[in-house]
Copies of this chain bind each other. A is one copy, B any other.
Amino acid sequence: MKQPLASTPRPDRTTSILQRRILDGWIEPGTLLAESAVARELGVSRVPVREALFALERDGLVEFSDTGRAYVKDLSPHAFEELYVLRLTLEPVAARLAAPGLRGDLSALEKNIEATGRAASLIKVTHLDLDFHELILAASGNARLLKLWRSLRNELELWLGRLHRSKEIQTRGTCEETVSTHRDLVECFRTQSAAVCERKMREHILGWREWLPVLPGKE
């Protein structure tokens, strides 16, 4: 183990404000994010806005047209399936890699589960759910893998946020189910081999997909 395995690089105020606005749905998908307009809006110059737009493109929240204009990403169900396939590919591997190191110290995961049980809102549960998975990615010891996953997380949050707002997500038993399946996973890490943990994580992701509603979308 080396450093804390890549904390988010340099928290940029402009970027995080824009990110929040997009994730929270304050800006309609497909909206043009003109540098000048955003700069005026946020009270900064175009340069940090420019930087923020590039960072957000990397995180999949913004996409550029071939003429260099930035738009808030408009996700299609197909794009969601792509994300899902990647979760299903990366996370079981992360679970396998993380298993040996995790066996000895599951306190972080347990603390997360506890917090999930106390969570008041569904959106909070969602964030804690993703935090749980990110803890495992971080424990994998593969910084590049964690980096790839982080670049997917934002897009996932974008989707889940929209689902929540459109009330198309089922809230019944969500928290309890999350807590119990996560408990299963922790138990698996505590007692089972890495290969079993890998399979367990795969099943967990499969179950998560099943739990999601039919996906809306314009495409």
Contacts and interface: CB of A to CB of B under 8 A. Distances in A.
Interface in A82-125: 82-83, 85-86, 89-90, 93, 97
A137 to B, nearest CB: 12
A148 B145 CA distance: 10
Given A144-B79, A152-B144, A85 B97 contact: yes
A44 interface: no
Interface of A: 9-10, 47, 50-51, 54-55, 58, 60, 64, 66, 68, 79, 82-83, 85-86, 89-90, 93, 97, 142-145, 148, 151-152
Contacts of A90: 89
Contacts of A83: 144
Number of copies of this chain that the complex holds: 2
Contact of A9 (B9, B51, B60, B64): B64
A145 B86 contact: yes
Given A54-B55, A152-B144, A10 B82 contact: no
Contacts of A68: 10
9 contacts: A58-B58, A60-B144, A82-B142, A85-B97, A85-B142, A85-B145, A86-B145, A89-B89, A148-B151
A60 B58 CA distance: 12
